[in-house]
Structure 1
Amino acid sequence: MPDAVMLFAAGFGTRMRPLTDHRPKPLIEVAGTPLIDHAMKWVRDFGPSRIVVNAHYKADQIERHFDGTDVRVVIEAPEILDTGGGLKAALPLLQADPVFTMNTDAVWRGPNPLEVLSDAWTNDMHALLLCVPTARAMGHDGGGDFDIAQDGTATWGNETIYSGVHILRTDLVSNRAEIVFSLKAVWDDLEATGALRAVEYPGLWCDVGHPGGIELAEAMLAGHDV
């Protein structure tokens, strides 16, 4: 079972402007709580041994947010490393294989997403994505990302949306020569060989990557129709 979590908090938050002109997107509040703390609630409830957060845009604010805690903040400088590169750079602090990765621009209503993934993970897997059927996803622009077969095989498609949380074997990033790369490149390689897996999240999920997602997320958390 994964015992370390990597939270992605380095992005520029361009879709969230102008709210991100003076603070990073993970510190934008939803229902009075910074986005990253919504993610941290699930992480703390799951209880991994190590938690690592990356930072780049307005990294000093992310550092201050976790000052005095056991969360390790990795600052990406001078360039941002994207999701795959960011995870690769954080591996010495994560000290685990496999690991969870979690985006910090979404909120959830339902069971702990890390628990859902952990329950579905088997040792023969390389990567396991947590996806949400489009009917239970809010605030998401565009169509779906993946189709999931009955045996859990994931292929690029439109039926479900990648929720921003997954489990990954670390050699899939540590063995890559690139310094800056997206995890999508890793998934492309796995999908091409039929080795990419996914599981559906049974609750509700809201994308808060843009200002309009804030009101939707707050209504969802309050149990209102959205």
Structure 2
Amino acid sequence: MSDSFPVPPIPMPDVMLLAAGLGTRMRPITFEKPKALIEVAGKPLIDHAIDAALAEGCTRFVVNAHHKAEMIAAHFARLESALPDLAFAVSPEKDRLLDTGGGLRKALPLLGSDPVLALNTDTFWLPGEDTPIARMQARFGAGDADVVLLCVAPDEASGFRKGADYFMDETGRLTKTHGRPMVYAGAALISRELAATGPNVPFSLYRHFETARESKRLWGVTIAAQWFHVGDRQALERTEQDIGALV
């Protein structure tokens, strides 16, 4: 007789899809459509992010929208019609862009989980290659984190052209001083309490990351799959080629 017990499944967080940016580096494409709806390998960028989260059991999605917001809303309406077992909602930013931190705070009433998962819509991984969200949720569940970031080593960050954001020590804690250099891979699990804070002006999620780091409650999980960052037209072309080589 086994003395082990089945581990209950980890509940998946609600997902905040960050899609309100102007997409200036994708012009002239973004004169006609928001960056999140640019197609990569036959699918809008935002759908790649949704599919990666769906593959791990996420079922509730909120998107913020500003540039071409009506196109984002129409796309979510189509998804809601096609996938009635899932929940989709739009958090409009009509008057001004709130940046990533401000956008998440505004959308919190539409997000029910604690923590919540913020996903960039210009970064993604292909479903089935890894389960990073589950590992992020498990790391958060240890009780000593306010933020868990998905990370990728700089030499594996396709389409990314700047240096490391943080360093990861041997335990997985993220610092500014020691450990392996890591790039923030566009997925952040954030406590509701922290997500609800911030100034009454647009602000970045980086504010929350730094608050967690300063209190030694910022942790990282390294993705074990090919990761794509589609930040500009060159990266768009390269990602198309890379995905084509994989399928």
- The normalised TM-score by structure 2 is 0.85
| Paired amino acid for 1:223 | A
Aligned partners of 2:195, 2:122: CA distance in 1, in Å?
Answer: 23
Query: What are the within-5 Å matches in structure 2 for residues 29-108 of structure 1?
Result: 29-68=39-78, 69=80, 70-108=87-125
Aligned residues: 224
CA contact (8 A) 1:24 1:58 kept: yes
Q: Is 1:126 the counterpart of 2:150 in the alignment?
A: no
Q: Which has the larger radius of gyration?
A: 2
Determine helix, strand or coil for the equivalent of 1:46.
coil
Determine helix, strand or coil for the equivalent of 2:77.
coil
Determine helix, strand or coil for the equivalent of 2:30.
coil
Percent identical: 38
CA contact (8 A) 1:134 1:159 kept: yes
Q: Residues 44-70 of structure 1, C-alpha deviation per residue, up to 9 Å, x if partnerless? A: 222234211110011000001111403
| Paired amino acid for 1:141 | R
Displacement of 1:112 in angstroms is 3.7
Q: Residues 130-177 of structure 1, C-alpha deviation per residue, up to 9 Å, x if partnerless? A: 000112111112212111001111023782111100110011121334
Aligned partners of 1:15, 1:155: CA distance in 2, in Å?
Answer: 30
CA separation of 1:179/1:49 partners in 2, compared to 1, >3 Å: closer, same or farther? farther
Partner of 1:13: 23
Q: Is 1:27 the counterpart of 2:37 in the alignment?
A: yes
Aligned partners of 1:215, 1:204: CA distance in 2, in Å?
Answer: 16
Aligned partners of 1:216, 1:35: CA distance in 2, in Å?
Answer: 14
Aligned partners of 1:162, 1:28: CA distance in 2, in Å?
Answer: 22
Pairing partner for 2:215 from 145, 169, 193 = 193
Q: Is 1:144 the counterpart of 2:164 in the alignment?
A: yes
Q: Is 1:160 the counterpart of 2:182 in the alignment?
A: yes
Gaps of 5+ in 1: none
Determine helix, strand or coil for the equivalent of 2:245.
coil
- Measured on the aligned residues, the alpha-carbon RMSD in Å equals 1.8
| Paired amino acid for 2:136 | L
Determine helix, strand or coil for the equivalent of 1:220.
helix
Aligned partners of 2:162, 2:132: CA distance in 1, in Å?
Answer: 23
Q: Is 1:210 the counterpart of 2:232 in the alignment?
A: yes
Determine helix, strand or coil for the equivalent of 1:102.
strand
CA contact (8 A) 2:132 2:221 kept: no
CA separation of 1:180/1:111 partners in 2, compared to 1, >3 Å: closer, same or farther? same
Further displaced range: 50-59 or 187-196:
187-196
- The normalised TM-score by structure 1 is 0.92
CA contact (8 A) 1:42 1:114 kept: no
Q: Which stretches of structure 1, 4 residues or more, deviate above 3 A after TM superposition?
A: none
Partner of 2:136: 117
CA contact (8 A) 1:5 1:51 kept: yes
Displacement of 1:2 in angstroms is 4.2
| Paired amino acid for 1:163 | A
Gaps of 5+ in 2: 1-10, 81-86
Displacement of 1:206 in angstroms is 1.7
